[in-house]
Amino acid sequence: MTVLAVTLVSLCAAFAAIQLALALRVRASVPPLSAIDAPPPRAWPRLSIIVPARNEAPRIEAALSSKLRCGYENLEVVVVDDRSTDDTGAIAARLARADPRLVVMRVDTVPPGWLGKLHAMAIGAARATGDWLLFSDADVHVAPDALARIVAHAEAHDVDFVSVLPRMDPTSVLLDAFAATIARAFALGGRTWRANDDRSSVGVGVGAFNLVRRRALENSPGLGYLRMEIADDVALGAMLKASGARCRLFAARADVHLAFAATCSELLQTGEKLGFVLGFSLIKAALATGLWLAVDLAVPIAAIACGGPIAALGALALAFVTAAHVILARHFDTPGAHLWPLGSILGAALLARAGVLAWRRGAIIWRGTRYDKAVVRAGRRWVGGRVSLDAGLPSTHA
């Protein structure tokens, strides 16, 4: 047993203990939606749900129907069909003929320097008439009364922005394991325990559910400032927090839910955009994924295999990480906590693949559109968990 080996295993155990402590902080500081309670406002403000959709035919009908049945009385839903080549637009149009609250728009081209999704969000926001704007993905389901409770809370407590971490619906062993990994990575990596602290600069957004008061969005640089930001959802929350908006994050559980991916093939395609995180660098891709697997699994398991006192440290590291997964999975109602080692392997493989593809292509391919490295780098706004508001850049709300 060498000093180096003991040091490595001790560091892994210490890091795992920190993760457990932070998971407990997340549980204490990110309340579930079921815990909020506020009287209804005198008049319900207009709420516009903006749904950017590209090739979502298998999922959009059920998700849109849940939004239309949400029970909010002053509601409109704006679907922006972003260059879909399947029946997404036709399905949304059929639903719109039966419900006048639903408006469907079609985008055939995206201006240079815009991500397709953010352009669709901006188009939808310009068309929407609501005092509140909810940006929500096309596969997201909303439970009855959830929106009314959230808006009532925001109105009563002068909140400008509400985001929720949705429940991931169980799908398959592999995808459930990955869901547990995502819950840990987002909750801890995103420093979500600081999201509800008005004194903190940490702002958190989630693509499934970002609800913003129109006035707060107008007081920020706007969606145009984020037009080439790959991490559009978290960047929106960070931008609003930096602009002075009062922000809140909740655990949605059954109130907002979706299936993260239907198949592993879909997961791989969705995950390709993660290549930007690694800066289009093959070395960073290798280091990041290798370190992830070493700290999570390889070093603790090797220590256990060695036996003796070092084995206890390895077992302790695995126990701490398992406990962190269980706490976060129960808090966010996410499946697959007991499968987290499989999720870590899948997550590291997904990140490695995304990094290699981004390096080889010199670009990110997302939703069928290619975005070159130089354009992606120039458009980054969310760096180090924050969005810097550069006064030298135009404030573009469109």
Residue 41 · residue 73 · CB < 8 Å: no
Query: Across residues 133-155, what is the average pLDDT?
Result: 97
pLDDT of residue 305: 95
**In percent, how much of the chain has pLDDT > 90?**
82
pLDDT of residue 5: 87
Q: Where in the chain is the domain with CATH 3.90.550.10?
A: 29-260
Give the C-alpha separation, 148 to 144, whole Å.
Answer: 9
pLDDT for residue 398 is more than 80:
no
**What is the C-alpha R_g of the chain?**
21
**Helix/strand/coil for 103:** strand
pLDDT of residue 390: 67
C-beta neighbour count of 253 within 10 angstroms? 19
Query: Across residues 210-231, what is the average pLDDT?
Result: 96
pLDDT for residue 110 is more than 70:
yes
Q: Which CATH architecture has domain 29-260?
A: Alpha-Beta Complex (3.90)
pLDDT of residue 321: 97
CA distances from 327 to 19, 20, 141, 180, 297 (A): 11, 8, 24, 11, 19
**φ, ψ of residue 211 in degrees (nearest 5):** -105, 120
Q: 276, 266, 270: which is closest to 363 by C-alpha? A: 276
pLDDT of residue 397: 43
Q: What is the pLDDT confidence band of residue 263, given thresholds at 50, 70 and 90?
A: confident
Amino acid at 124: G
Residue 242 · residue 325 · CB < 8 Å: no
Q: What is the pLDDT confidence band of residue 141, given thresholds at 50, 70 and 90?
A: very high
pLDDT of residue 368: 82
Give the C-alpha separation, 56 to 85, whole Å.
Answer: 10
pLDDT of residue 266: 82
Query: Across residues 228-256, what is the average pLDDT?
Result: 95
Residue 311 · residue 303 · CB < 8 Å: yes
Give residue 76's Cα distance to chain centre: 24
Amino acid at 261: A
Q: Tokens for 192, please give them.
A: 């979500």
What is the four-CA torsion angle of 216, 144, 32, 385, rounded to 10 degrees?
A: -40
Query: Across residues 88-94, what is the average pLDDT?
Result: 97
Query: Across residues 159-186, what is the average pLDDT?
Result: 93
Q: What is the pLDDT of residues 337-361, one digit of tens each?
A: 999 999 999 999 999 999 999 999 9
**Helix/strand/coil for 277:** helix
Q: What is the pLDDT of residues 271-315, one digit of tens each?
A: 888 888 888 999 999 999 999 999 999 999 999 999 988 999 999
Q: What is the pLDDT of residues 374-395, one digit of tens each?
A: 999 988 999 888 898 864 344 4
Q: What pairing do the DSSP bridges indicate for beta strands 75-82 and 102-107? A: parallel
pLDDT for residue 176 is more than 70:
yes
pLDDT of residue 1: 59
pLDDT of residue 95: 98
Q: 152, 248, 155: which is closest to 209 by C-alpha? A: 248
Among 32-36, 257-261, 317-321, which is the least confidently predicted range? 257-261
pLDDT of residue 3: 87
